[in-house]
Amino acid sequence: METLDLLIDSLIQDGYLKSQAIIDAFKSIDRKDFVPGDLKDRAYDNTALPIGFKQTISQPLVVAFMLELLEPRQGEKILEVGTGSGWKTGLLAQLVGEQGKVYSIERVSELQSIAKQNLTKYGVEEKGVVTLIAGDGFYGYSANAPYDKIIAAASAKEIPAAWKEQIKIGGRIVAPVEDRIEVLDKIGPNQFETKLFFGFQFVPLVSS
């Protein structure tokens, strides 16, 4: 059976985990705490796993890759679109630290409840680092905009306009678009630099 250390070592060797802060976050926020009970023995498999409601907990390789692209920093304010079971939420909380904020929005209320329970072990909500929001992430979360960073877990047809509006100048969006990951750096009020990374699969971003 795979172990957390073996998973992390393989992600480092394959070049997906690079920065020490993200490696430390992977060690501290145990993926096993965020997979359903009947899949605990597969928690360290480098694959996406079902978490119910037609959603998955993302493949560790993809999470590592996206977090390295996002470059979360201590003290930043980050919007996460798609809480899922809360694993990436916990990783982000670890990366922004107690001076940072993670606003995580989820449209499936049952998943939000599961994430809330999963994150209890880490105390990030109680410390005020994480705020879980029930809602449609397609429209972002304007109440606490602008954000330093925005990251999404599900694939849209294009980056929603609301996210572009809610990211600050100098901020970054990392999000799946169809079969690729897009990185948008906001360099002016309506100006973005874009990088594309191909060869990925995600569940679709659903909007009501």
What pLDDT shows up at residue 107? 92
N-to-C CA span, the chain = 40
Residue 189's nearest CA partner among 171, 203, 201, 204 is 171
Mean pLDDT of residues grouped by 10 in the chain (208 residues)? Answer: 89 96 98 95 94 91 96 98 96 97 95 96 95 94 97 88 97 92 95 90 62
- Angle, vertex CA 51, rays to CA 50 and CA 52, nearest 5: 95
50, 56 in Cβ contact below 8 A? yes
Domain 4-198 superfamily per CATH: Vaccinia Virus protein VP39 (3.40.50.150)
Q: Which residues are catalytic, by number?
A: 58
Q: Cis ω on the peptide bond leading into residue 50 (within 30° of 0)?
A: no
Domain ranges (residues) in the chain: 4-198
- Tokens coding 143: 């109440």
pLDDT value for 1: 53
- So what's the pLDDT on residue 34? 97
Residue 79: the pLDDT is 98
DSSP 7: H
The DSSP call for residue 126 is T
